[in-house]
Amino acid sequence: MRQFGTLSALVFLAACAVPATQTAPDPEPENAAPEAALPKPAAPPPSARTVEQFDTTTAEERAEVVKAAATPAQDRALGTTVASLGDPTDPGFWLKTPLVSSEQPGRVTYPAAGTSVAVTLIPIDGPSTGGSRLSLPAMRLLQAPLTGLPEVTVFAR
């Protein structure tokens, strides 16, 4: 029951909107090279109650997105945003953010831990100063506190 209470708090935090700052406009990619699709893990089982049960990514999938983030080819900085935990039942490596106007490949860094992960950037309604929601697997790889509101830097690929 205690784990369910923790998870409920995480889901509540995911719904919070917090400020972000935008440092560059979101231009449409020009002749962007096709990027390999990020892994899309299976959805967690309905009986999932712990972080490990909700994070259905494999070690290979996690290594793939960390490796992809380590080669920041022609990444464009979009800005910083405060990220809360997104819906833990939505699998994969993604950031839902008002910093983009179309779905596209990207990268998120968490300067406090010196970590970076490749993600799919998904647009959400709101001002560019609005907060963002980060997937559970991405948040774990960034070593960001799941119940916190870490400030991350967002890049488009």
Kindly report, residue by residue over 98-116, the tens digit of the pLDDT.
999 999 999 999 999 999 9
Instruction: Look at 1-5, 11-15, 54-58, 86-90 and tell me which has the smallest mean pLDDT.
Output: 11-15
pLDDT at 96: 98
**20 strand-pairing partners:** 81
Distances (CA, A) of 137 to 27, 34, 41, 62: 27, 24, 10, 8
Q: Is 54 part of a structural domain of the chain? A: yes
The closest of 97, 82, 86, 89 to 14, measured between CA atoms, is 86
- Please tell me the total count of domains within the chain: 1
Q: Is 30 part of a structural domain of the chain? A: no
The CATH number of the domain holding residue 93 is 2.40.40.10
pLDDT at 36: 57
List phi, psi (to 5°) of 10: -65, -45
The closest of 104, 110, 131 to 21, measured between CA atoms, is 131
pLDDT at 25: 41
Q: Average pLDDT in the 4-23 region? A: 43
Q: Where are the beta strands (DSSP E) in 25-147?
A: 76-85, 94-97, 104-110, 115-123, 132-134
* Residue of 56 and 72 predicted with greater confidence: 56
Q: Is 102 part of a structural domain of the chain? A: yes
Question: Would the pTM count as exceeding 0.85?
Answer: no
pLDDT at 136: 97
82 in Cβ contact with 96 (< 8 Å)? no
Domain that holds residue 58: 2-25+35-156
Length of the chain: 157
Question: What single letter denotes the amino acid at residue 91?
Answer: P
83 in Cβ contact with 131 (< 8 Å)? yes
Q: Is 49 part of a structural domain of the chain? A: yes
C-alpha–C-alpha distance, residues 100 and 111, integer Å? 21
- pLDDT-derived band at 129, boundaries 50, 70, 90: confident
Structure tokens at 121: 């950037």
* Residue of 77 and 74 predicted with greater confidence: 77
Pairing label, strands 151-156, 104-110: antiparallel
Structure tokens at 142: 């960034």
